[in-house]
Amino acid sequence: MVLATNLGFPRIGGKRELKKAVESYWKGAISQDDLHAQARAIRLQNWTMQKDTGLDHIPSNDFAFYDQMLDMSCLLGAVPSRYNWDGGAITLDLYFAMARGAQTDRQDVTAMEMTKWFDTNYHYIVPEFTKDQSFKLSCSKIFDHYQEAKKAGIETRPVLVGPITYLSLGKTEDDNDPMALLSALLPIYESILKQLADSGVKWVQMDEPCLAMDLSESQKAAYKTAYDMLSKAAGDMNIIVTTYFEGLRENTQLACNLPVEALHIDLRRAPDQLDAVLNALPEDKILSLGVVDGRNIWKNDLAQSLSILNTAIDKLGEERVMVASSCSMLHSPVDLAQEVKMDPQIKNWMAFATQKVQEIVTLTKGVNEGEASISSELVHSNEGAEERRTSSRIHNPEVKARVKAITPEMSSRQQIFADRRPAQQASLGLPSYPTTTIGSFPQTTEIRKARAAFKKGTLPEMDYTLAMKEEIKQVVRYQEEIGMDVLVHGEAERNDMVEYFGEQLEGYVFSKLGWVQSYGSRCVKPPIIYGDVSRPTPMTVDWTHYAQSLTDQPMKGMLTGPITILCWSFVRDDQPRSETCRQIGLAIRDEVSDLESAGIKVIQVDEPAIREGLPLRRADWDAYLEWAVESFKLSTCSVADSTQIHTHMCYAEFNDIIDAIAALDADVISIETSRSQMELLEAFVTYKYPNEIGPGVYDIHSPRIPTIEEMVVLLEKAAKVIPSNQLWVNPDCGLKTRGWAEVKPALENMIKAAKEMREKEESSQVA
């Protein structure tokens, strides 16, 4: 019998109950007992649903109050010393202090670092290891939850992050090889497995996504050492090692030969790996086939999945196959049934986590009892797949023809930067060290209220427009008053830099409750690209044109770039991402052209997500960067030499993609640097970045108001390594999360700092 299994289920609850409970607890509005009771209710609901739907392996310990990696650190007793942990069982308040920092009369500690979980938009808490880190079993959650489910009559498969992935994702003192800690760590994993086995667990899931990444020799060796020991500790209990987000590639032999009972592979992200794995898998091992996408929102093509499953069954036999989600469903929204207002046809193409569990069960039934037993589901699925292949709502021949007709000239400016620069200087007439901002100004309560009321329909469009125009007028006047050189309109009308454009593009749909955990209690609701993307009418021209009409200074048009729009959406799975990105690039190109025709001389196309779109395997970087750069240039290269294109990037390590950043050929780039004291500039210096650059001098992520002197210091530091005629003066990022009370003095200081730099320059020229 083939088994129906799942790697993990979203823990936030269909209506974000967990977020609300946790935040109430933080505010002191509910007790710890209440919080636990609400969490138990969510778990029970998830387990029961999965059981009732018919799963054979139901995950437990996939629940976390904040993050599963933080839970591992607590389980293993890897608590950094600044938390003054007494070595006893880890309390919930200690847990939350590690997650978010704590500032009370008793303690004042910073949070642990947070970073992206592989190439998802989920963020995990990075383990911190000292050189002589010791470990100790310090939390009973994994055992408790297994018992909790068992008491409810539900047998579960506890989930752990495996030791190599856990160590690999941590931060070590002096950047030492984390594998050096393996021998200290393994005994704890051994005792966890023994205890699980003793409590009657039949299958334990060890998540080892790192097995599908580029591995060092020491990681490879560690995999062998670790699983040799762990398989012994597990005794009769079965271990499944799960890999996801990539294919095993050169690690296929290593993964297939680990001494465990089952291996899981992601056949959505890396369908090509199936043959190699089927050939390499020793005869006693079970293969778990991740055929239902755990991190997207599209319905499964059942016929296609059945054919994959049958290929595996032909080779391995029924006893050695499991049907599974490709990865944990943590990255998928909870329940499509809640989307009562969504366009029914588009909704019919989708599946959220609850529906995905059903798909797994249906597929399993199909292979166990024959396709006739799921004939109506198959018909329905085939119809849906056929509809998606042919629907005129998805396929727009005009868009496809336009993408096909893209020529290399379209993604190249008319002249090289050095030759178009004089035209820009003549048209803009800016001083040296020109000042600007990244786009948004503080989103005040009034702005948010007006936008919400307009969306609800309680504020008429005319009044809303008036309110926004009033806001624009004020920020334009303010910028003129303080002597800003290149102005912005402030983005008051935008809730979110991707959603704002998605709402105006064809090919996008929005969910009401399609929340996905981003970190801790924070959830995001990514817009969904279901069809060919095009721009029916201008999206920003009216606002920008109005703003420009109020001033003689250049007004900067503000757009989000194609790569960022792609990265922060759920993307259709029926064509390559590169194709979708080009379509978005063309839509933004139209907007850029319209802004230019409306008299806008400076246009910024933000790409903060360019680096996070990088593939997980180094070998795939170049191909990605090529189409990413092309899409950006498609969107920006229609303009005349005299039109100045800006881009903005934040929170990124630029060193390893500096070639691609230069290839974007934006006339001006603004980047985050102030926090690192200009260290991030290094890449641009070594590379001799040829175009203009605005290294942020004001850290907008902090409420602190930077002084004139410290910004002058930063600018002088920058001017030492970058010719001053290439330098701009600007904050690190947009100001929408800040209040005016901080922003005003900070910007005024920033402008004074620029003036000081100009004066110094003049006096040195006179001298």
* DSSP track, 666-704: -SEEEE--GGGTTGGGHHHHHTT--SEEEE--S-TTSS-
201 binds Zn ion (CB under 5 A): no
Site for ligand GLN in 611-670 (CB under 6 A): 648, 650
- The one of Zn ion, ligand GLN, none whose footprint includes residue 68, by CB under 5 to 8 A per kind, is none
* Residues contacting 405, CB < 8 A, separation 6+: none
Q: Which of 323, 750 has the CB closer to ligand GLN?
A: 750
Q: Which of 538, 734 has the CB closer to ligand GLN?
A: 734
516 binds Zn ion (CB under 5 A): no
Q: Which of 468, 515, 734, 754 binds ligand GLN (CB under 6 A)?
A: 734
Stretch that binds ligand GLN, among 356-364, 388-396, 691-699, 730-738 (CB under 6 A): 730-738
* Residues contacting 112, CB < 8 A, separation 6+: 70, 73, 80, 98, 99, 125, 126, 127, 128
CA-CA distance, 588 to 396, in Å (whole number)?
17
Query: Least distance to ligand GLN from the beta carbon of 736, Å?
Result: 5
Query: Least distance to ligand GLN from the beta carbon of 439, Å?
Result: 3
Q: Which of 185, 736, 751, 754 binds ligand GLN (CB under 6 A)?
A: 736
At which residue do the structure tokens 């470990």 appear? 135
Stretch that binds ligand GLN, among 161-169, 655-663, 685-693, 732-740 (CB under 6 A): 732-740
Query: Least distance to Zn ion from the beta carbon of 439, Å?
Result: 9
Residue 406 token pair: 């893209």
Crossing angle of helices 273-280 and 302-316, rounded to 10°: 20
Q: Which of 351, 563 has the CB closer to ligand GLN?
A: 563
439 binds ligand GLN (CB under 6 A): yes
Please state whether beta strands 114-116 and 123-125 pair in parallel, antiparallel, or not at all (unpaired): antiparallel
Q: Which of 440, 443, 638, 674 binds ligand GLN (CB under 6 A)?
A: 440
567 binds Zn ion (CB under 5 A): no
- Binding footprint of ligand GLN, residue count (CB under 6 A): 13
Query: Least distance to ligand GLN from the beta carbon of 500, Å?
Result: 10
Phi/psi for 537 (5° steps) reads -145, 165
Q: Which of 76, 367, 438, 523 binds ligand GLN (CB under 6 A)?
A: 438
x/- string (CB under 5 A) for Zn ion, residues 717-736?
----------------x---
Stretch that binds ligand GLN, among 68-76, 364-372, 733-741, 758-766 (CB under 6 A): 733-741
CA-CA distance, 17 to 494, in Å (whole number)?
27
The 3-state DSSP class for residue 322 equals: strand
Stretch that binds Zn ion, among 122-130, 318-326, 471-479, 608-616 (CB under 5 A): 608-616
**What beta strand segments (E) does 46-119 contain?**
58-60, 102-103, 108-109, 114-116
- The one of ligand GLN, Zn ion, none whose footprint includes residue 585, by CB under 5 to 8 A per kind, is none
Q: Which of 442, 706 has the CB closer to ligand GLN?
A: 442
**How many other β-carbons are positioned within 10 Å of the β-carbon of residue 173?**
11
Residue 254 token pair: 């290593």
Amino acid at 289: L
Contact 417, 691 (CB under 8 A): yes
Query: Least distance to ligand GLN from the beta carbon of 431, Å?
Result: 23
Amino acid at 597: S
Please state whether beta strands 556-560 and 528-534 pair in parallel, antiparallel, or not at all (unpaired): unpaired
Please state whether beta strands 506-509 and 262-266 pair in parallel, antiparallel, or not at all (unpaired): unpaired
Q: Which of 14, 434, 608, 706 binds ligand GLN (CB under 6 A)?
A: 608
Query: Least distance to Zn ion from the beta carbon of 518, Å?
Result: 17
Stretch that binds ligand GLN, among 225-233, 394-402, 628-636, 728-736 (CB under 6 A): 728-736
Site for ligand GLN in 469-498 (CB under 6 A): 491, 497
Contact 391, 383 (CB under 8 A): no
Cα angle vertex 21, ends 170, 499, to 5°? 75
Query: Least distance to ligand GLN from the beta carbon of 91, Å?
Result: 36
Direct distance between the N- and C-terminal alpha carbons of the chain, in angstroms, rounded to an integer: 87
Taking CA atoms, 436 is separated from 441, 489, 648, 693, 730, in Å, by: 12, 11, 12, 12, 5
Phi/psi for 291 (5° steps) reads -100, -20
Q: Which of 647, 726 has the CB closer to Zn ion?
A: 647
Nearest residue to the partner ligand GLN, using Cβ: 734
Q: Which of 50, 674 has the CB closer to Zn ion?
A: 674
**How many other β-carbons are positioned within 10 Å of the β-carbon of residue 162?**
27
Put the strands of the sheet holding 692-695 in their side by side order: 556-560, 602-606, 644-649, 668-671, 692-695
Q: Which of 288, 730 has the CB closer to ligand GLN?
A: 730
Q: Which of 650, 715 has the CB closer to Zn ion?
A: 650
Q: Which of 558, 637, 662, 757 binds ligand GLN (CB under 6 A)?
A: 558
Q: Which of 490, 531 has the CB closer to Zn ion?
A: 490
CA-CA distance, 634 to 650, in Å (whole number)?
22
650 binds Zn ion (CB under 5 A): yes
The catalytic residue positions are 701
- The one of Zn ion, ligand GLN, none whose footprint includes residue 695, by CB under 5 to 8 A per kind, is none
Which runs of consecutive H residues, i.e. helices, occur in 54-135? 68-75, 92-100
- The one of ligand GLN, Zn ion, none whose footprint includes residue 497, by CB under 5 to 8 A per kind, is ligand GLN
- Binding footprint of Zn ion, residue count (CB under 5 A): 3
Phi/psi for 179 (5° steps) reads -65, -20
The 3-state DSSP class for residue 26 equals: helix
The footprint of ligand GLN (CB under 6 A) covers 438-440, 491, 497, 558, 606, 608, 648, 650, 733-734, 736
